[in-house]
A and B are shown apart, each in its own frame.
Chain A
């Protein structure tokens, strides 16, 4: 869509008797929205889905006096000189009401017990248009509820066939996990051959959930299990919250997008009743300590390069499914979530004299893929699971509400010691380029043996999908150019890997995040409606929240974290030690999908 402001690229159109200048190339829906008109829409999702399926954005239109046939959908109608658009006529209002009722006629209307109650875009439109009943009664589609995966639930009874998830998966990730299947009344959005989301080529990034206007796609929730653990006097429940969560959690309580709420989040976790409240940021520093040393060892000892980050579980799963030849390139480091779990149940348990079997580790993540990661067989040590339950930002918001906590009035609190300290390098993990920058901050200091004053790597910042940079560092005393690549979405990761495989791209280190812009736009973050997304990119504000928290920190390099220094001294010995490998490193395997054996039984 052109955003050109030159007058030559403007056309004059009339909307509801008001003349406006619109950008040539814009749709009527875009032009109207920019001019302050509110046209209802449901299937439209900026840059993702423009398919004129829901028929709610219809209008009466004539061009230089010649009426257009029917009621055109404004989401696919380009503005043109002399266009006259009327959105507030009886004909349009009746059509919108009728189309809403037709959608509801095949929709499970148990709204009060739905997870999207209050955030459902269909519900909002029905309220705005005063839908008080549905005139149409008839057969409803048979219902499929696929709850077999650890991350994503697909519920066809809530699906309105808008196609936003189908387009999101294809345009953002190029995976095409979901598609319209069958025809006519039997149409259903889902994977092929009625396979469960558990057994297909899904990386559980949750961008489909972020795109869904209803609850047809939602995260698998573990709230009851977590409450049960908290209420069990025999259990010690230890919680951690990831960096990106604090940039979005406030939105659950009506705060502007990207309001940083670190102190309130920590306070809320304590109020909820978790026995210990730690911060995933500590584990992010630990990850950098391990990963930067692993990178240096690979460079110095001729190991497999480029090394690729492994903290995004969606990316790891994608690599296992589509690029198994690159598995030796993946850092063996577990993700911060799982490093934290492993350290809580070993080092921390030992120091506190706790039985690791009685500890329940809960993580609050911006991510839906973390749930599947937590359930991976190999992510345990001596039969003790790293992570017991992983919750999304939205689930945490729900818990806070269930606990009757007035979030907005909480006094800031600090995480508990001894796994709660963190540096600025850890905070920026939540945005694309952050892991790379944090790793470079540590690698540069280790290689030079100095505390370098210039440690902000602007070239790896920003929301572009693929970024390249290089830094010159002394390797064995010789100044050496280290080339790095940062990419987000698995679509972009695939492009980078293809180029590396073909020898078209050379580099030493690649950071991959499965979600566009990194964890700040993860599939577990607070919902931002399609209407809001027309004027706001939620990633900007959330990214700024993290970089500003980085700047507020006194310590901004992972290896300077005092609690991490103590952990290395008292437990691990040194980064990448044998003990570190036992608790903090893992392995990967090629992962088939749509394999006959794993077919879900309906």
Chain B
């Protein structure tokens, strides 16, 4: 199963490109334009796919491979689409023996994706994490900065996830 194509594409006339163009043109003659342009693009799009690299290259004159070298060096950048919320299911030793696999399976089942993937509504990206440092709360997972503890009963997971969905619908942030 691979990430569906449609959620990874950015329309050519996406207004965020105009914003990025203006930003690059203001910074173009400064040293290190690659770094700040990529940071701005990461902020605007949430990820840096090939077409964003091509756009920055065209506007800044920095070769695509050089931009990609910067993107893949720093962990602040990602070439894959990331969701609004990052789910980290802890697979560390303590969580694992207390049933972390069941937690992860449930999260994946509810969201209908695989590890590392983002949901089609771009709300969640699911990550299998190493120890998140809450062994006493095992099995645990984090959504963004909030820790969910003692998830032995995996049936509470749909409810936890639903909260984020409703919240974002109310904020008008979800599509």
Contact = CB atoms under 8 A, between A and B. Distances in A.
B28 to A, nearest CB: 16
A192 B65 contact: yes
A185 interface: no
B72 interface: yes
B68 interface: yes
Contacts of A594: 50, 54, 64
A181 B69 contact: yes
Given A193-B79, A596-B50, A183 B64 contact: no
Contact of B73 (A177, A183, A200): A183
A446 interface: no
B66 interface: yes
Interface string A185-199: 000001111000000
Given A193-B50, A193-B79, A181 B72 contact: yes
A170 B72 contact: no
B63 A179 contact: yes
B70 to A, nearest CB: 9
A564 interface: no
B88 interface: no
B53 interface: yes
A586 B132 CA distance: 64
A235 to B, nearest CB: 41
Contacts of A200: 64-65
Interface residues of A, number: 18
Interface residues of B, dominant DSSP: helix
Interface in A442-463: none
Nearest to A178: B65
Contacts of A192: 50, 53, 64-65, 67-69
A150 interface: no
A200 to B, nearest CB: 8
A182 interface: yes
A176 B50 contact: no
Contact of B68 (A170, A175, A181, A201): A181
A176 B66 contact: yes
Contacts of A276: none
Interface of A: 170, 175-183, 190-193, 200-201, 594, 596
The 6 closest A-B pairs by CB, nearest first: A176-B63, A192-B68, A179-B69, A179-B65, A192-B65, A182-B72
27 contacts: A170-B66, A175-B63, A176-B62, A176-B63, A176-B66, A177-B63, A177-B65, A179-B63, A179-B68, A181-B65, A181-B68, A181-B69, A190-B65, A192-B50, A192-B64, A192-B65, A192-B67, A192-B68, A193-B50, A193-B53, A193-B68, A193-B79, A200-B65, A201-B64, A594-B50, A594-B54, A596-B50
